[in-house]
Amino acid sequence: METEIKNITAQNSKEIFCMAGELIRKGELVAFPTETVYGLGANALDGEAAAKIYAAKGRPSDNPLIAHIADMEALEPLVKQIPSKAKQLAERFWPGPLTMIFEKSELVPYGTTGGLDTVAVRMPNHPGALEFLRACHVPVAAPSANTSGRPSPTTAQHVLQDMNGKIPLILDGGKVGIGIESTIVDMTAEPPMILRPGYITKEMLEEVVGAVAVDKVVVAKSVSELGTGDYQPKAPGMKYRHYAPKAEFMMYEGSRENVIAAIRKRQQEEQAQGKKTGIICTDESKNRYQGVHVVSIGSREQEETIAANLYSVLRDFDDTDVEVILGESFYGDGLGQAIMNRLIKAAGYKLINADEKI
């Protein structure tokens, strides 16, 4: 199959949206930009179309998809009920980078929900995404448009790297704004529970609906912190190794100076063994390291810049011959937590305490 890329930022993109909508209604896949990452869309009400998403991504079939809608009227038919707290959150944050979990209605096939009786729904805040969704006339199931296990795509070129020849159409809206996936909140729990951290933080949610709980998989810094036994993250996708670069990747936590010293020491050790080493740091620390593959992902003063660059930095390392990547950690309850959650998974939970080592 040939994959077409169509630019939707031009004034006259109406025909392209019509064509995309037709493809979706015929049960085909279309990749599209959102404010978080690019999505790989299919008709959410058609289990067979959803199955094509799993095939194109190589995604485990127990990992459910998010249904994307363009207006509130489209929510009602998908869910058994809309809890009042969900209404409040929708009013405040939709369209936006928030996904809410509801009890699903009969209309939503198990092919979309990975066999679950709940459905995840999101209204993206991106003009191209909204116009695309309106042209589809059906809710659109869409995971991030990457091959399963690779970093999520933040440009149409990233999508092409992973989906070339597998899907008919990519809508190109340029680089996305936020760069990490939406916050997921389970509205069937009381209090509502964050299953995946994102741009909308716990504090922002609590301002609207009071107490909000956090699934322990969100804050875990090691596999052992998840506990042994049969603990299962409530968002099935959170249990898979995600966003992984090809190189071995490890993170360093601790005081700023100790982290820098430990990374520099490790870089020397790896290089002494002939291993090409990359470093992921920030604007504030970049000049403390030396080497060809020292990459700043943004400024700690503006964590939005870090979120926006995170996945493309990880992807870019795959185009180099770097064998080992050493990364600095991020902290806090806000966006820093969402960033660290992605990095720690990319590193397969390899986290070294620089304060202990020195």
Among 238, 247, 279, 281, binds ligand TXA (CB under 6 A): 238
> Whole-angstrom Cα distance, residue 334 to residue 49?
36
Binding to ligand TXA, residues 133-152 (CB under 6 A): 142-144
**Which of Mg ion, ligand TXA, none does residue 285 bind (CB under 5 to 8 Å by kind)?**
none
Q: Quick one: 17 or 102, whose CB is closer to ligand TXA? A: 102
Of 305, 304, 306, 356, give the one whose Cα is nearest residue 328. Answer: 306
Query: What pairs with residue 185 in β-bridges?
Result: 100, 194
Closest CB 142 distance from ligand TXA, rounded Å: 5
Binding to Mg ion, residues 142-161 (CB under 5 A): 144
Q: Are 41 and 182 in contact (CB under 8 A)?
A: no
Q: Establish if 123 lies at the interface with ligand TXA (CB under 6 A).
A: no
224 C-beta neighbours (distance < 10 Å), count: 9
**Which of ligand TXA, Mg ion, none does residue 89 bind (CB under 5 to 8 Å by kind)?**
none
Question: Which residues have CB under 8 Å from 22's CB, separation 6+?
Answer: none
Closest CB 179 distance from Mg ion, rounded Å: 13
Q: Which stretch binds Mg ion (CB under 5 A): 51-59, 137-145, 188-196, 264-272?
A: 137-145
Any idea of the CA torsion for 310, 316, 321, 327, to the nearest 10 degrees? Answer: -10
For residue 340, the one-letter residue type is M
Half-sphere exposure of residue 89: CA atoms within 13 angstroms, side-chain side: 34
Both tokens assigned to 77: 């038919």
Q: Which stretch binds Mg ion (CB under 5 A): 103-111, 138-146, 243-251, 332-340?
A: 138-146
**Residues within the interface to ligand TXA (CB under 6 A):** 34, 36-37, 39, 63-66, 99, 101, 113, 116, 118-120, 122, 124, 142-144, 181-182, 184, 195-196, 234-238
